[in-house]
Amino acid sequence: MFVLKGVLRAESQEKILLYLLLRGTGYGKAIAEFFGLSTNSVHKQLIRLEEDSVVVGRSVGRLREYQLSPSYPFSASLRELLKSALAAYPDALVRKLAVSRQRPRKSGKPIVTAR
């Protein structure tokens, strides 16, 4: 689903920005795996977005972690636009995207989905 087709260059950009809006931060590979996209295409879009100062990245060990840039001149407007675009996405996807598990799960612990 590509809601912001006339505004953004690619569907992967929209998905990256939505991921970063709801989760706060993210790695290229995690974003690609969540949406089932090519890791290479996600990394290329992240580089473009960082060059345009829409997102900022920082190195965490060997990984690069990205977040929406608070110093981007249209940051507030972009966030509002992305929030409006979320209404067009299925509720299940939005809920799944909003849940972020950061710690590893204990071995043998049953998986319980959020309600």
Residue 16 reports pLDDT greater than 90: yes
Q: Which of 45-49, 82-86, 91-95 has the highest mean pLDDT?
A: 45-49
Q: What is the pLDDT of residue 6?
A: 58
29: which 2 tokens? 């590979």
User: Which tens digits make up the pLDDT trace of 99-109?
Assistant: 766 666 677 77
User: Which tens digits make up the pLDDT trace of 49-74?
Assistant: 999 999 999 999 888 999 999 999 99
Q: Does domain 11-89 have CATH number 1.20.910.10?
A: no
d(CA 98, CA 115): 12
Task: Give the predicted TM-score (pTM) of the model.
Answer: 0.80
Q: What is the pLDDT of residue 97?
A: 81
Lowest model confidence (mean pLDDT) among 18-22, 33-37, 96-100: 96-100
Beta-strand ranges (E) seen in 7-109 are 25-27, 55-60, 63-68
